[in-house]
Every structure is written in C-alpha cells, then in structure tokens.
Amino acid sequence: MANPISKQELQAIRTHYESGVTKPYAFRMQQLRLLRQAVLKYEEPISAALYQDLKKSPEEVYGSETGLLLTSLNMALKNLRQWMMPQRAKTDLINLPSSCRIYKDPLGVVFIISPWNYPLQLLLIPLVGAISAGNCAVLKPSELAPATAAIIEKIILEIYPPEYIKVIQGEGATVVPAALELFRFDHIFYTGSISVGKIIYQLAADKLVPVTLELGGKSPTIIEADADLKIAARRIALGKFLNAGQTCVAPDYLLVHESVKQKFLDLFQQTIRQFFGEDALNSYSYGKIINTHRFDILSGYLSQGKICIGGHKERSALFIAPTVIEAVPLDAPIMTEEIFGPILPIFGFQNKEEALAIIQKNPYPLAFYVFTTDTQKEKAWMEAVPFGGGCVNNTNWQFANPYLPFGGIGASGMGAYHGKYSFDTFTHRKPVMKTPTWFDPNIKYPPFNGKLKWLKLFIK
C-alpha cells in the first residue's frame, strides 16, 4: 500500500532533529536497544515474510539477514561511547600551543532506500549507523518485497515516533523523487542497481545532498590451476546460489584456468547436487526469483550460451535451476549486465593477461574473488584489479564481517558502511582547534615585512 510522505511530516522530522533530542549517548543507546528487542520479538514473522517474498529458509534468513542485523546492533551497543568520543589530533608547529579535536556530529535527517534482494538487513543495517550517529531517518523499503516491507513498517511504528524514524511505502520511482523534491535531506543512502543509482545521484546533486551509493556490477571469480578445486566448487556454489543468485556480491562469472576447467565443472555439478538435491525446485535450501519480470530477463540469458549444468526453469514457480553456461559471446547481454540470478557463465583462460582483458570490459566490480594456493599469484591479482571488496579462496563472506568496510568503487558505488564504518558514514567529522590566550606571538600578525624566514621555519 502506498504511504507517501508530506512536506509537513518531513518538516516535523527536521524540527525533531533540531530539538537536539537525538544527540545524547543515552538516547542513541535506548533506540538501538529498542530495535534489537523488536528484531528478536519479531524474528518468526520476519522469517515468514522473507519466505513469502523470496522463499528463504529460516536458516538463510538468520545467516544473511537477521543475524547480520543483530551483529551490527550488538557492535554499536558495545562500541558507541568510544565511537562518539572526540578524537585528538596533532597540532602543527605554527599553531602550537593550540590543541585539536575532531568532534563527531550527526548529519541531520537522512534518507535510506533499500532493494528487494536482502530487504531487511540492507535497510536496517544502515539505520543502525544513522541512529548510532544521532540522526533522524526516513526509510524506503522495496515495494518488490511487500511482506518484508510490511513487517519493517510494523516494527518501526511500534518502537519509534514518526517524527524520529518514518517509513514510506509505494512505488520507488514515484515516492522517492517526490520526497527529494519536497525536502532537502542531509544524506541519501541508496542500495540497488547502477541505473537507478545514477538517477538518485542526479536528484541529489540538484540540492547538493551527499550520497552513499551501494550498487553492483560484474563480479569476476578467478580459479587458478593450483587452486583447491573441491573447496572452490563448494564456496563458489554457496556464494552464487544463495538467495537464488540474487546477491550483489555473488560471483557473476568464472574465469578458470583451461587446464582445470573440466575437472572444476565436474566437481561443481557434484556440489550443486549435494547442496540442493537432484531437483532444486523442491529444495529446502534454494530460493525463488523475486517476480516474473526478473524471471523473464533471466530466462533470456539462458539462450546466450551453451548450458553445461542446469538450465531447468518454471515460470509459475519463479524457479530457475542453478545453471552454468559456456561459449558466451563477450558482448552478449549476460556479459554486459549484472546477472543477479542463478546463472553463471564460465570462461577458460591460458594466462593472466587473457583473463584481465575480459575483466576490463566491465571494470570496477563490487566484488572480486581469487582461488589460488600461490601467494605471489594472489598478490598479483589483488594489485591488478580495482574492486570494492573481495576474498581469496572464498566468496561473499567479506560482506558479513562488520570489521571490514563494505562499498564499491567507480561504477559499483561510492562510500562504505558496516560496523564503525556505518557510524562514520552518517557522521560529520568536525575539526576544532583551541588556542590559549597566554601566548600570542607577533610573527602571525602584520606587518609581515622581514618575517618570511621565520614563517618558512615554522611552516614546512
């Protein structure tokens, strides 16, 4: 159901923020505790909603949604006092004996817009950062995951007044531009596609609103000849087929050394059977495509190469089996668009330069994965490819580590969050220098004639 926001409601949020009520440490801690209690209270309804929207099992919900959110909350509750403390900074020679601090100020009223693929944690983990930093927030959950959007709104209405945290519902293409037209937010945090990210960026630029953009892209996975192929097969299958491939950091395509390509494919097929059985349609551990629109796009990709694993699909069940395709032209849509589904193109390569040439057709991926037991190859790959974040001998799990910043580079996004980085994203670092009055040398004041040598001595 549409639930747009009015100018009066937005102004009420601004007034609430400007009252200063959100800034004290005790207030922030209480709001974080309320959110944590609500997530635990509604754990079963949250799980049911995510099953309805995406056919996620309770285990997958906890491992990729609720558990990550609780980890973020627990970290904030444990560390918030330290994060908020003014930070000492050094003072340069010319300004001695001044002392310097960096204060941590909230940004104000922030707008958080989330996608449908992980509709709980991709909305509420940024909210943890916004609350921790002392902000008010407007939240826009994805209308494409309506059951989850509804439970989120229920939780927020139950624990927070609307002048503090407000959820708006409806078609994103309508309600988001309308809100941005009505009001100047102090920050916009958007997670989603590159195409919509560009629109958000343009709308924000009109009012000079800073943005964090968590986008996507073509995330490559390298399998060198020396890789542990059994481990690679297991970790790539998990990373690719979690949430039926609808994960922004999922491996988007494989580059496998030609000498081990067939052996890897055999192991990969065995792994898919071990994970999801002979028929993934009936697997407890395998999800569904979000809607028929996405299903039809993904179905179109299946004809753009030779299917070597999987390929079965059922539109009525929004099901596409875990699939690997080869012999894909590099200019085919499946290799120029983010796949965002359970279809994995595979290419063989003879040398690093050959693989790099393919990667460079879609530069600045959000994620990059390398499987190798050779530390020199590992180092060479890490230095050769600019990417948002990644793993060596693993996939996806860098996202789950709250001690690592998560974010993109270039076309895959700007800014980062998770853990303390979420607090930093929604915080203005305000530098302040305090100068005593008992020392006031004339060298700093006019007339300046004859003081150049002294200025050069102190300013280096």
User: What does the pLDDT look like over 114-163, one tens digit per residue?
Assistant: 999 999 999 999 999 999 999 999 999 999 999 999 999 999 999 999 99
Q: Give the Cα separation of 427 and 436 in Å (integer).
A: 28
The size of the chain, in residues, is 460
C-beta separation of 138 from 156 below 8 A: no
Chain segment 332-360, per-residue pLDDT in tens: 999 999 999 999 999 999 999 999 999 99
DSSP-assigned states of every residue in 428-453: EEEEEEE--SS---GGGSS--TT-HH
State the average pLDDT over residues 414-423: 97
State the average pLDDT over residues 176-184: 96
C-beta separation of 149 from 143 below 8 A: yes
Positions marked active-site: 214, 248
**Model confidence band, residue 31 (pLDDT cutoffs 50, 70, 90):** very high
pLDDT > 60? residue 1: no
pTM of the model: 0.96
Q: Where are the alpha helices (DSSP H) in 277-332?
A: 292-301
Q: Give the Cα separation of 408 and 211 in Å (integer).
A: 13
Domains assigned to the chain: 7-215+410-432 (3.40.605.10), 220-400 (3.40.309.10)
Chain segment 246-292, per-residue pLDDT in tens: 999 999 999 999 999 999 999 999 999 999 999 999 999 999 999 99
DSSP 3-state percent helix, strand, coil across the chain (nearest 5):
50, 20, 35
What pLDDT does residue 287 have?
A: 97
